[in-house]
Every structure is written in C-alpha cells, then in structure tokens.
Amino acid sequence: MRTFPFFLAAAFGLSSAVAQAADPDSDIRQTLRALQPDLPIETIAESAMPGLYQIQLKGGRQLYASADGQFLLQGYLFQVRDGQAVNLTEQAESRSVAKLIDEIPESEMVVFPAKDPKAKITVFTDTDCGYCQKLHSEVAELNRQGVDVRYVAFPRQGVGSHGYQTLVSVWCAEDRQAAMNQAKARKEIPAASCENPVSQQYQLGQMIGVQGTPAIVLENGQVVPGYQPAPQLAQIALEAAAAAKAN
C-alpha cells in the first residue's frame, strides 16, 4: 500500500460532522481538493462495501471516503468470499497498473523476446544498478522459459544523472539490445541523443510507486520489487499471464 504525504496530517483536520451527501462525487472531490489541490483523481465510484466510495488516482493508488467526503480511509479493503479474504484494493491497483503498462508501445522499450513467448515482464531498470545487471545476466534463461523481457527506463538518480544519460544513449542507439547488453556489462557505450521516452518512463515509474530497481511488472499489473532468480521469476510471470488471460 503506497502512502500519501498529505494524508495523515490533513485527515485530522477534517470535520467530523456527518451530513447527507446529495452528490458524493462532488462532495468527495471538494474535500480532496481542499487537502491537496493537485491530487490526480481519475474516478470516484461506489466500492463493494455499502456506503463507502472508492477514489482511484492516476498510477493505480486507491483511497476511500464516506459519501459526504467527511471521512477518508487509506488502507486495504478486503472482501470475504468463500471463507477467503480477497484484497480488493490490490486488485484495483494492479488493474490500473496493467492498463498503464499496456499503453506503452513496445517500440519505446528495449525488448528481449522469447522464441516461444508464453508470458512477458516489464522491468523498470537502471544500467548502474547491480541487481539490474544480475537480472540482465539471466535474460537468456527467462527467454528460454518463454518469458519476454521488456525494459523501460528508471534512472534512480533522476533526470540529468549519469544513469539517465546512459539510458538515453541506450534508447538512441542503432541497436538497443546490443547497447543494453554493453551497459549492463558495465562497459561504456557511445553517447547518443535523440527524441526518447526515458524521462516520461521515469515519471510513470514514480507515479505507480516504483522506488528502486529493478521493479518488475507482471502481466496482471502486480509489481515485484527487486531482483528475483530466473526460475522463480519465470514461474510467477507464467502464473500472472494465466491470471491476466483468465480475467
């Protein structure tokens, strides 16, 4: 669950008066705008829990509110189904993340495809990251197990950093795969510049809550933070692909 800096401080300032909400969408938006004018609200709708409204923010994050907007919740909403607790918040976040990732054209990624693709992972990567380099050394094994590896850029030190400049050079190289292989082997690559999506992808990663690299997004939108050995990663990627197709 990703937290909001404004939330804990601001929520205590809300009035506890309960009023009949004539327009829940408007009332909730009014409350949230008063707390944080630039909060990126996408949709407000009734949640599965009667009387509770779900606020979806850009990047997949979720908040909950009473119909009059006077009470806010940040946390997981579970529903008990057949004796099992289903995390509705995580499901909603994952759907939103999957949608955002699906909107990135593969032409804007560095892709290492499997010969017989059964699943795909999208990896927010930084060429200067040791665990990113370790994961890259296992791309061939992931491909062998039917997993496409698709890289998007996440320069951990921000725009303008050494990592950022290296990623730009990778994306602007005539052969992106070869440039990525070289960069991940800690070798210098020729500096290059062009119109590129590195900054945009970095911003997207921040929006969905990426805090470090590698950050691996499965087909169902689940984000796996950090390195995972190829056999484990292939297994969860295949399971996520099956779950995404089932939905």
Q: CA 96 to CA 208: how far, in whole Å?
A: 9
Q: Is 132 a catalytic residue?
A: yes
Side-chain half-sphere CA neighbours of 184 within 13 A: 20
- CA distances (Å), 147 to each of 38, 171, 231, in order? 38, 22, 11
- CA distances (Å), 177 to each of 13, 111, 163, in order? 52, 7, 17
Residues forming a β-bridge with 73: 64
Catalytic pick among 126, 128, 148, 150? 126
Q: CA 223 to CA 94: how far, in whole Å?
A: 8
Report the 10 Å Cβ neighbour count for 247.
9
Catalytic pick among 27, 61, 129, 150? 129
Q: Is 129 a catalytic residue?
A: yes
Q: What's the distance, CA 207 to chain centroid? A: 7
Give me 96's structure tokens. 């939103």
Q: Is 186 a catalytic residue?
A: no
Contacts 24+ apart (CB under 8 A), 7-16: 7/35, 7/63, 7/72, 7/74, 10/35, 10/36, 11/35, 11/72, 14/70, 14/71, 14/72, 15/70, 16/70, 16/71
Amino acid identity, position 42: E
Q: Which residue has the tokens 């976040």?
A: 93
Q: CA 47 to CA 49: how far, in whole Å?
A: 5
Q: Is 172 a catalytic residue?
A: no
Question: Among all residues, which ones are annotated catalytic?
Answer: 126, 129, 132, 156
